[in-house]
Chains A and B, each alone.
Chain A
Amino acid sequence: MFHSILSKSLRDYRVPMLAWGFGLLVFMATFVAMATPAEVMAYISLVKILSFWGDPYAINTPEGYITFRWMETGWPILLSIWPILAGARLVRGEEERGTMDVLLATSQARTRLLLEKVGALFLALLVIAVLFALGVVAGEAALGGGHVDVVRALLAGLNLVLLAFFFGMVALLLSQLTTGRRAAAGWTSGLLILFVFLNMAGRELNGAWVQYLSPVYYYNLNRPLLAGFPDQPLASLVPLGLAVLCLVGSALLFARRDIGRSAIESRREAAGSRQQALRSLSRAEREVSTRSVSLQTLFADGWGSFWWLLGIVAFCALWQFLTPGLQKFFNQVVQQTPWLARYLFDTPTNTNTAVLGTIVFAFVPALVVILALTLALKWPSDLENGRLELIFSTPQSRPRVLLERFGANALIVLLASVVTWLTLTIGAQLANLSINQGRLLAASFSMFPPALVAMGLVYAVSGRLRYGAVLGIATTYLVLSYLQESLEGNIQFPGWVMSLSVFHLYGNPIFFGIDWTNFLGMTAVGLALLVISLLQFRYVDIELG
């Protein structure tokens, strides 16, 4: 595997490739197998209110149901996440680690290096496409057969990974223009959301021109799982062609720019004078961000958190906009759909507020907890990369540094609760919706304890465990926790199992107010985990990086 840059890169991708691939395989096998006529019929009633999500072509067939539910919007978003991260770090990651200099010290041309790495990413995506197809075929076999053949499954997988590859190449291009991979990944994620939104807006506004701006629209012009769908194979060339354009642009910029700098920064910094350089010391003296560990953490997390908060605001605002037109229909659908009624067994749906609360507070708590997780994960990452060596050479005690970092993370998470509350309050005023302010406040601020538990868990196991292990433990716990709560109406878990889920313990405060026992209990667990992290961190060796 070390014969070429391509094979070495493919080796580097083996874990995410297999994880995403086999994850998709299991997921598709399960959901295709579950696409029984009863399941499909039950879902059809929801299609009207979910018209922004997809186009219900042949919705009464298993393949139409799967296409509508997962292939039009869901998987294009989810499967693009890894290529975006991989594209952003494709060369920028190597530069940040300082390994690019070593690679370029060999007789490899920059363009070839870039193409081999991109080739590895594309091959990894093809493997994922094949595993996806195997999942569909396996599910098809379990369902009874006759709906989707292997070729169609493979074409669907290919269509999906072409779009994901496009987003990976956008991230690669932006990584040439930004100074860090995180910024490139952040901007590309923003574009992904924008393109999905444009496509949704196009559907809602009956063919509005805005959807033509979105590669997601061209992806959806082909639905290989559907036998009778009028596919337009040339439409696949749009995301592919755009990906190639991004790749060519990246190759041109990468071949010309300084390693370690962005294509823009190289020129700007060259113009700096000695006096300007010294003036930067005076500027830094006035900067608030340099005053303490907590302020530095807040500022360092600023941009990333801003995008998260903006996403939460957009999500809340979108549903506030859609709710008045949906409420009656949504209530009717819930009453007529047994599995949905079971899913929302403890949730009223008979008012605008109820619909808004149901939809917003089914997802925003998960977003806030994921935000908390991403913020907290920087702690083990910094520890492992030796970024705290200089901090710990100053007279700041270990508990103090840890507490300041944790406090800064907690403040941003608290801000997410405030932002949710403010958006819904202001939106309700503008949309003339009557919302119980007390319940809204309860629902917004009850998101904090689950996030506190997630952060506490990460901090408690950091120091002793490597970053990858911390990420695995925390992510697994939260995914299981969310699934457990989502399936509660359909699967009976023992009470003690349910009490392990932070999302279950979050409860339904938008309708029933704060459950103080759970609120205080989770807060206590979060604080206990913080205490554990403080105690164990006193004795760990600081990694050299």
Chain B
Amino acid sequence: MPAIIQTHQLTKSYGKSRGILEVTFDIQEGEVFGFLGPNGAGKTTTMRTLMGLLRGNLGNATIGGLDCWKESTEVKKLVGYLPGEFSVDPGLRGAQIIEYLGHLRGGVDQAYVRSLVERLGLDPSKRFRAYSHGNKQKLGLVQAFMHQPRLLILDEPTSGLDPLNQQEFYKMVAEIHAGGRTVFLSSHILPEVEQTCDRIAIIREGRLVTIDHVSALKAIRQRDVEIAFAAPASVEWFKQAADVTNVAQGADERTLQLVVQGDLAEIIQIAGQHGATNIATHEPSLEEAFLRFYEPQQESSALAG
């Protein structure tokens, strides 16, 4: 499949302490791609740079083969965008905002707009100032989806939505996916990412930490293993084992605590050779796996954001 989004060494600096640094990734046509990271990691900056709202300092980004800055008007014909925060004239009604943005985009099917409004339970007769956060988010989703774009860029799309509307949103994403269109979304909700995305990228302090299939990320999760022996045990026995990332003495001299990433076969074999009496493993949740990526680096990079 061709890549619809491509970034290469994309860097956006706001000065000393915010931005993104050398972000490189591809998103294939038809993919649902999740973008994860703690607050201020650079998710919104990346998305706004792709939308041509910010100008990258270095590197490049393309959507559909078009440069996101130089050809941003053409790029936006392909994209439906939900900003993380947005504001419009507070005196305008929801219907007026939808109609206005529809005219600016062109190619909007009014019947589809009505179906989106119905599905999300949005009241378009209210003024923008009267909308709750959740209703503003619904309005944002309607305007992002209404022209049935080839690519959706959604910055924390379920923020503020109630569980029913979250489920409706997942169905809408599934329909987009089934139709061969692409979704690039940022989120903090891991079950949501697990449920909706094919691949995810994790960004921290402006740098891309990892990018892989959701299933692969599950596979690389680390496990805590506690091994009990009949006699006093030595940490040296496991230091050369391929999948052991950490080994330490346990509660007493006959117990060892290991952190293992990968297969346990070699661990079991070594433990058997030294007369192990019990092996207990603790499977961390995907949540814990992600939290390890989220933890700030000891030596933070120059850019964060």
Distance in Å from the Cβ of B141 to the closest Cβ of chain A? 12
| Residues on B with beta carbons closer than 8 Å to the beta carbon of A385 | 87
**Which of A128-136, A280-288, A495-503 contacts the other chain?**
A280-288
Binary per-residue interface labels of chain B (140-152) against chain A in the complex, 1 for a CB within 8 Å, 0 otherwise: 1001000000000
Contacting residues, chain A, for B74 (C-beta < 8 A): 395
**How would residues 65 to 78 of chain B score, 1 for a CB under 8 Å from any chain A CB and 0 otherwise?**
00000001110110
Query: In the assembly, what is the distance between CA of A265 and CA of B123, in Å?
Result: 16
Residues of chain B at interface, number, CB under 8 A: 50
* Residues of chain A within 8 A of B189, CB atoms compared: none
* B54 and A541 within 8 A (CB): yes
In the bound complex, residues from chain B placing their C-beta under 8 Å from that of A429 are: none
Q: Which residues of B contact A180 (CB under 8 A)?
A: 90-91, 129
B91 touches which of A179, A291, A393, A539 (Cβ 8 Å): A179
For this complex, 19 residue pairs linking A to B, each with C-beta atoms less than 8 Å apart, are: A260-B129, A260-B130, A276-B125, A284-B124, A292-B104, A296-B100, A386-B87, A387-B89, A389-B53, A389-B87, A390-B88, A390-B101, A393-B51, A393-B79, A393-B81, A394-B105, A541-B55, A545-B86, A545-B87
Which 4 A-B pairs rank lowest in CB-CB distance, beginning with the nearest?
Answer: A284-B95, A280-B125, A394-B104, A284-B99
With A290-B103, A393-B79, A395-B74: A280-B89 Cβ-Cβ less than 8 Å: no
Residue of A nearest to B131 (CB): A260
A96–B127 CA distance with the chains assembled, in angstroms: 12
B93: Cβ under 8 A from any A Cβ = yes
Task: Determine the main DSSP class of B at the interface with A.
Answer: helix
A285 with B76, Cβ < 8 A, contacts A272-B125, A280-B95, A280-B125 known: no
Is there an interface contact between B54 and A284, defined as CB atoms closer than 8 Å? no
Query: Which of the residues A96, A386, A387, A541 comes within 8 Å of B129, measured between beta carbons?
Result: A96
A280 B129 Cβ-Cβ under 8 A: no
Tell whether A395 pairs with B73 under 8 Å between CB atoms, given A96-B90, A284-B124, A545-B85: yes
CB proximity of B44 to chain A, nearest CB, Å: 8
What residues of chain B lie closer than 8 Å to A541, measured between beta carbons?
A: 53-55
Contact between A539 and B55 (Cβ–Cβ < 8 Å)?
Answer: yes
Complex-state Cα separation, A291 to B96, whole angstroms: 10
> Is B83 located at the chain interface by the 8 A CB criterion?
yes
Interchain CA distance A194-B88 in the complex, whole Å: 33
Q: Give the contacting residue for A281; candidates B73, B106, B124; CB below 8 A.
A: B124
Among B48, B90, B130, find the residue whose CB has the most chain A CB atoms closer than 10 A: B90
Chain A nearest CB from B46 CB (Å) reads 14
Check if B110 is an interface residue, CB within 8 A of chain A.
yes
Q: Judging by beta carbons under 8 Å apart, are A285 and B110 in contact?
A: yes
Are A290 and B54 in contact, with the CB atoms below 8 A? no
User: In the complex, how many angstroms separate the beta carbon of A260 from the nearest chain B beta carbon?
Assistant: 6
On whether the beta carbons of A261 and B130 are closer than 8 Å, the reply is: yes
10 A-B pairs besides A284-B93, A542-B48 with CB distance below 8 A are: A180-B90, A180-B91, A260-B130, A276-B125, A390-B83, A390-B97, A392-B53, A394-B105, A395-B76, A541-B54
Number of chain A interface residues as a range: 35 or more
Tell yes or no: A457 within 8 A of B by CB. no
Residue numbers in B under 8 Å from A285 (CB-CB): 99, 110
Which of A179, A393, A542 counts the most B-chain CB atoms under 10 A from its CB?
A: A393
Q: Which residues of B contact A397 (CB under 8 A)?
A: 72-73
Whether B96 lies near A287 (C-beta < 8 A) is yes
A277 adjacent to B143 (CB under 8 Å): no
Contact between B87 and A387, CB atoms less than 8 A apart: yes
User: Does B126 make an interface contact (CB < 8 A)?
Assistant: yes
In the complex, B94 has a CB within 8 A of chain A? yes
Closest beta carbon of chain A to B86's beta carbon, Å: 5
B120 CB–A CB distance under 8 Å: no
Which residue of chain A has the shortest Cβ distance to B113 in the bound complex?
A281
Chain A positions within 8 Å of B32 at CB level: none
A206 at the interface (CB under 8 A from B): no
Contacts of A289 in B (CB 8 A): 96, 100
Known: A285-B99, A387-B87. A393 touches B76 (CB 8 A): yes
Contacts of B118 in A (CB 8 A): 278
- A300 within 8 Å of B by Cβ? yes
| Smallest beta-carbon distance A466→chain B, Å | 15
Q: Render A269-281 as a binary contact track against B, CB cut-off 8 A, 1 for contact.
A: 1001010111111
Q: Which of A265, A284, A291, A541 has the most CB of B within 10 A?
A: A284
A396 within 8 A of B: yes
A386-B87, A395-B73 are known contacts. Are A281 and B98 too (CB-CB below 8 A)?
Answer: yes
Let me know if A269 and B126 touch, CB within 8 A: yes
Minimum C-beta distance from B111 to chain A (A) = 11
Expressed in whole angstroms, the Cα–Cα distance for A63 and B104 within the complex equals 61
Indicate whether A454 reaches chain B with its CB closer than 8 angstroms.
Answer: no
**Does A293 touch B at the CB level, under 8 Å?**
yes
CB contacts (< 8 Å) of B140 on chain A: these are: 390
A386 to B88, CA, bound (A): 8
| Cβ–Cβ < 8 Å partners of B8 in chain A | none
Interface centre among B73, B95, B127, by most chain A C-beta atoms within 10 angstroms, is B95
Min C-beta distance of A398 to chain B, whole Å: 8
CB distance from A374 to the nearest CB of B (A): 16
A278:B105 contact, CB within 8 angstroms: no
| A193 interface contact, C-beta 8 A | no
| Chain B, residue nearest A285 (CB) | B99
In chain B, what residue has the closest Cβ to A382?
B89
Q: Which of A293, A395, A542 counts the most chain B CB atoms within 10 A?
A: A395
Question: In the docked arrangement, what's the CA distance between A265 and B102, Å?
Answer: 27
Q: Which residue from chain A places its CB closest to the CB of B132 in the assembled complex?
A: A260
Cα–Cα, bound, A545→B118 (Å): 30
Selected from B76, B94, B98, the residue in CB contact (under 8 A) with A394 is B76
- Of B55, B118, B140, the most chain A CB neighbours within 10 A belong to B55
**Given contact pairs A284-B99, A386-B86, A542 touches B110 in the complex (Cβ within 8 A):** no
| Cross-chain contact A291 with B94 (CB below 8 angstroms) | no
